[in-house]
Amino acid sequence: MTPDGALLSLDGISRLYQVGSEVVRALDGVSFEVQRGEWLAVVGQSGSGKSTLMNIIGCLDTPSGGTYRVNGHDVRGMADDALADLRNREIGFVFQTFQLLPRSSALANVELPLVYRGLPRRERRLRAEAALRAVGLGDRMHHRPNELSGGQRQRVAIARALVGEPSLLLADEPTGNLDSATGEEIIRLFEELHSRGHTLLLVTHEPRLAARCPRAIRLMDGRIVADGPGREVAAFGTAPVVTA
Amino acid sequence: MKPVRRALAELQESVRIALGALTGNRLRSGLTTLGIVIGVTTVIAIVAIIQGLNRSFERQVQVLGTNTLYVDKWKYLNLEGDWWIYRNRQPIGVRELKAILRDSQVAVAAAPSVWIRARVDRLDKELTGVSVNGTSGDYLAANGGGVREGRFLVESDVDLARPAVVLGYDIADQLFPGQPAPAIVGQRVLVAGHPFSVVGLLERRGKFLGQSLDNLVLIPYTTFQRFFGARRSISIAVAAPPGRLGELEDELTSILRRVRRVPPGKPDDFTLNKQDQLLKVYRGLTTALYGVVLGVGLITLVVGGIGIMNIMMVSVHERTREIGVRRAIGARRSTILAQFLVESAVVAALGGAIGTALGLGVAQVIALASPLAAAVTWQAVALGLGFSAATGLIFGSWPAWQAANLDPVEALRYE
């Protein structure tokens, strides 16, 4: 583990699926690095391979070929339990549909990653409360998801992603189920988190959102076709800044 | 420490989720546990009644001394079809009693017993069907019990075949209602029409196998033979010092074979009955009964378990996305497995608890409404809870295994 190296390092990542008798290349030789404190968007049409890439970066899936390192850990050949622990420590997930547990309070939802880490109850409680306050929900801790608005639910989900102090916040279409005003609030929250030094990776098909990110990567047919400032990569039709 | 704490925290979380899922689907959970409830109720009720019977039987069997052998023509509780062997034996008589009294080194007491049912009356009081028992002074030493007033039969009563009688508790109570014990001794009663004088009164002894032990009178066996004939086979109760019953058995066998002239190589033509023989036969019966109950219980638990498996499959299906989220934020496969196992075990154990309570209630009702007894033992309760929780674990393991082995990517994408 090299503390001053890149946080994420992908080298020649490929992912093949067997569909019937055909082999589909969802990712084909993807290489890039993400430094600590970066805010990066991965954009692309559906079918471009961005979901597959997100699953691999999130350690939910492992590549068929190439090397992927998170915070110095090579995921190749890792056992399922080790991957689960890696997700717990290094990755905070934010999903398009929030994915909160409906029967649990906001606080219990946020505590969950710490349960899986084996922290004592009191510490879990304190850290979950702090995380909810950090996303502006200090007064909604004991509400259940169905008592919260869409924007509030996504804030709970972000608090849950942050509570374990992961290296990377991985968000999949985080504004996809929100109206534009609420979506804007969430983007502001991301900006704030970025300014506080968090590393963020957004997967989205919305150019508008990618344009707000300092850096963006465009995928097409499983390959990186653009990697550069968000505004430029988001603008469709402009020449690729860097080709991989 | 950390893995332990993690496991505890996860277990706590699992129980919380299980209870949440239970209360969230009350009707569904209720119907699911119904099979388990019915099965456990049945088993617990039957087990409680069997154990109640066991207790009263074992208490009653104590009446037969643990250190006493009973020399008889018949074998106790002989359930085989060879009754005619016993029927054709020569009766046991005074000859055998005298041989035992003369030759046994081990025996501490040997009392004959021969009885008929007869009428006992005094003035206007008349009792029928009283057990009239011919015995000797050794009776108390061999059979237990004691005299509360007056004296017991003595050697001279036997030698002279005196018309002396000792009254059992119930008989004294019914022939002399309200009279103080000292006033009864010395009075006259008629036994089967023959005048007898009361020499003593027995202490209360209770019941044995549903029969009162206080509904009898004791007279010298010589007097018995004078009035009722000497051809009946008698039973001889022979007491051994503690721990020497086996020795006594060997000694009596050789004395009796000699006095009855059994040729070498032929089987005994008498039986040495023991208390534990009754227990053995009885235990054999209840063991068979337990087997049947266990079979019935297992079948109902399997039926209940299939219900649980079904509902857990539905639950896993419904919560596929939740499983995906949990896996994404760091739950291991074993965590998911444990979560669903805990849930099915909790559902089943809850059914078991309800079934145990109902079963004990049913047993109490049966005990109150019938001559059967019921005993609540911790074994029965542990059995009910343990079996149902085990059912939950066994039948929940397949759905839980499926949940644990979902691919997180697929589970998250599941609509």
Residue A160 lies in a domain: yes
Per the document, the length of chain B is: 415
- Min Cα separation B393/chain A (Å): 22
Interface of B with A in 365-404 (CB under 8 A): none
Residue pLDDT, tens place only, A13-65? 999 988 889 998 999 999 999 999 999 999 988 889 999 999 999 999 999 99
Q: Please, which pLDDT band fits residue B16 given cuts at 50, 70 and 90?
A: confident
Question: pLDDT above 70 covers what percent of chain A?
Answer: 95
Q: Please, which pLDDT band fits residue B63 given cuts at 50, 70 and 90?
A: low
Average pLDDT, chain A: 90
Task: Please tell me the total count of domains within chain B.
Answer: 2
H/E element, A187: helix A180-195
Residue B75, domain extent: 68-274
Of B220, B241, B274, which one is at a domain's C-terminal end? B274
Highest mean pLDDT among A157-161, B264-268, B387-391: A157-161
Of B245, B274, B303, which one is at a domain's C-terminal end? B274
Using an 8 Å CB-CB cutoff, list chain B residues near A87: 327-330
- Min Cα separation B413/chain A (Å): 10
Give strand ranges (E) for B225-285. Answer: 235-239, 271-273
Could you give the CA distance from residue B30 to residue B264 in angstroms, rounded to a whole number? 71
- Min Cα separation B337/chain A (Å): 13
B340 and B224 within one domain: no
Residue A198 has pLDDT above 90, yes or no: yes
Q: Which residues pair with B167 in a beta bridge?
A: B201, B217
- Dig out the tokens for A189 from the structure: 């929250």
User: A234-240, long-range: CB within 8 Å, 24+ apart, which pairs?
Assistant: A234/A41, A234/A43, A234/A207, A234/A208, A234/A210, A235/A207, A235/A211, A236/A207
Q: Please, which pLDDT band fits residue A242 given cuts at 50, 70 and 90?
A: low
B215 and B76 within one domain: yes
Of B222, B241, B274, which one is at a domain's C-terminal end? B274
B253 and B294 within one domain: no
Greater confidence (A236 vs B117) lies with B117
CB contact under 8 A, A58 and B321: no
Residue A3 lies in a domain: no
B310 and B161 within one domain: no
Quick check: B39 and B304 in contact, CB under 8 A?
Answer: yes
Mean pLDDT within B144-164: 91
SS3 for A155?
helix
Q: Report the residue from B5, B409, B412 with minimal CB separation from A118.
A: B5
B126 and B105 within one domain: yes
Residue pLDDT, tens place only, B247-271? 999 999 999 999 999 999 888 899 8
Question: pLDDT above 70 covers what percent of chain B?
Answer: 97
- Min Cα separation A2/chain B (Å): 24
pLDDT of residue B2: 67
pLDDT of residue B25: 78
Q: Please, which pLDDT band fits residue A5 given cuts at 50, 70 and 90?
A: confident
Nearest Cα residue in chain A from B334: A81
CB contact under 8 A, B13 and A113: no
Residue A81 has pLDDT above 80, yes or no: yes
Residue pLDDT, tens place only, B43-61? 888 888 888 888 777 777 7
Residue A243 lies in a domain: no
Nearest CA to B337 among B389, B396, B391? Answer: B396
CB contact under 8 A, B329 and A93: yes
pLDDT of residue A2: 46
pLDDT of residue B394: 93
B203 and B166 within one domain: yes
Could you give the CA distance from residue B218 to residue B191 in angstroms, rounded to a whole number? 10
Could you give the CA distance from residue B111 to residue A16 in angstroms, rounded to a whole number? 96
Interface of A with B in 78-117 (CB under 8 A): 80-81, 84-85, 87-89, 91, 93, 95, 99, 101, 103-104, 112-113, 115-117
SS3 for B377?
coil
Residue pLDDT, tens place only, B316-357? 999 999 999 999 999 999 999 999 999 898 889 888 999 989
Judge whether A121 is closer than 8 Å to chain B, CB to CB: yes
pLDDT of residue B226: 92
- Dig out the tokens for B284 from the structure: 């054999």
Q: Report the residue from A91, A116, A120 with minimal CB separation from B335.
A: A116
B87 and B56 within one domain: no
Q: Report the residue from A61, A84, A124 with minimal CB separation from B330.
A: A84
pLDDT of residue A141: 93
Greater confidence (A37 vs A3) lies with A37
pLDDT of residue B14: 82
Using an 8 Å CB-CB cutoff, list chain A residues near B14: none
Residue A82 lies in a domain: yes
pLDDT of residue B145: 82
Quick check: B214 and B169 in contact, CB under 8 A?
Answer: yes
Interface of A with B in 32-61 (CB under 8 A): 55, 58, 60-61
- Dig out the tokens for B112 from the structure: 């004959």
Greater confidence (B242 vs B152) lies with B152
Residue A169 lies in a domain: yes
Could you give the CA distance from residue A175 to residue A183 in angstroms, rounded to a whole number? 5
pLDDT of residue B27: 85
CB contact under 8 A, A80 and B24: no
Burial B57-73 (b: 16+ CB within 10 A, else e): beebbebbbebbbbbbb
Q: Please, which pLDDT band fits residue B67 given cuts at 50, 70 and 90?
A: confident
Judge whether B329 is closer than 8 Å to chain A, CB to CB: yes
Residue showing tokens 């617990």:
B44
CATH assignment at residue A201: 3.40.50.300
B291 and B207 within one domain: no
Read off the DSSP letter of residue A147: G
Determine which of B25, B329, B334, B406 to mutate to test the interface with A (most A C-beta atoms within 10 Å).
B329
Using an 8 Å CB-CB cutoff, list chain B residues near A131: none
Residue A215 lies in a domain: yes
Label residue B371 exposed, middle or buried (CB < 10 Å: 0-12, 13-18, 19+): exposed
Residue B131 has pLDDT above 60, yes or no: yes
Using an 8 Å CB-CB cutoff, list chain A residues near B21: 103
- Min Cα separation B366/chain A (Å): 44
Could you give the CA distance from residue B127 to residue B112 in angstroms, rounded to a whole number? 25
Residue A204 lies in a domain: yes
Could you give the CA distance from residue B348 to residue B275 in angstroms, rounded to a whole number? 43
pLDDT of residue A237: 54
CB contact under 8 A, A87 and B412: no
CB contact under 8 A, A89 and B408: no
Nearest Cα residue in chain A from B9: A115
- Min Cα separation B10/chain A (Å): 6
Quick check: B254 and B262 in contact, CB under 8 A?
Answer: no
B205 and B92 within one domain: yes
- Min Cα separation A242/chain B (Å): 30
Nearest Cα residue in chain B from A55: B409
pLDDT of residue B209: 63
Residue A244 lies in a domain: no
Nearest CA to A112 among A169, A58, A162? Answer: A162
pLDDT of residue B282: 80
Mean pLDDT within A197-222: 91
Using an 8 Å CB-CB cutoff, list chain B residues near A80: 332-333
pLDDT of residue A40: 94
B155 and B48 within one domain: no
B246 and B149 within one domain: yes
Greater confidence (A236 vs B410) lies with B410
Could you give the CA distance from residue B264 to residue B256 in angstroms, rounded to a whole number? 13
Q: Report the residue from B13, B322, B408 with minimal CB separation from A60.
A: B408
Number of C-beta neighbours around residue B94 at 10 A: 15
- String of DSSP letters for B286-330: HHHHHHHHHHHHHHHHHHHHHHHHHHHHHHHHHTHHHHHHHHHTT
Residue A81, domain extent: 8-234
- Min Cα separation B324/chain A (Å): 9
Nearest Cα residue in chain A from B327: A84
B118 and B23 within one domain: no
- Min Cα separation B332/chain A (Å): 6
Could you give the CA distance from residue A209 to residue A69 in angstroms, rounded to a whole number? 27
Q: List C-alpha distances in Å: B100 to B70, B94, B135, B230, B394.
A: 12, 10, 15, 19, 62
Read off the DSSP letter of residue B196: E
Q: Report the residue from A80, A87, A121 with minimal CB separation from B329.
A: A87
H/E element, B283: helix B275-318
Residue B11 has pLDDT above 70, yes or no: yes
Judge whether B5 is closer than 8 Å to chain A, CB to CB: yes
- Min Cα separation A75/chain B (Å): 15
Residue A244 has pLDDT above 50, yes or no: no
Could you give the CA distance from residue B350 to residue B389 in angstroms, rounded to a whole number? 8
Residue A1 has pLDDT above 50, yes or no: no
Read off the DSSP letter of residue B359: H
Nearest CA to B377 among B358, B392, B356? Answer: B356
- Alpha helix segments (H runs only) across B62-121: 83-87, 94-103
C-alpha dihedral sign at B208, B210, B215, B218: negative
Determine which of A99, A110, A173 to mutate to test the interface with B (most B C-beta atoms within 10 Å).
A99
Task: Please tell me the total count of domains within chain A.
Answer: 1
Half-sphere exposure of B373 (CA within 13 A, CB side): 15
Could you give the CA distance from residue A91 to residue A220 in angstroms, rounded to a whole number? 25
Q: List C-alpha distances in Å: A68 to A217, B39, B170, B413.
A: 17, 55, 95, 23
Greater confidence (B402 vs B362) lies with B402
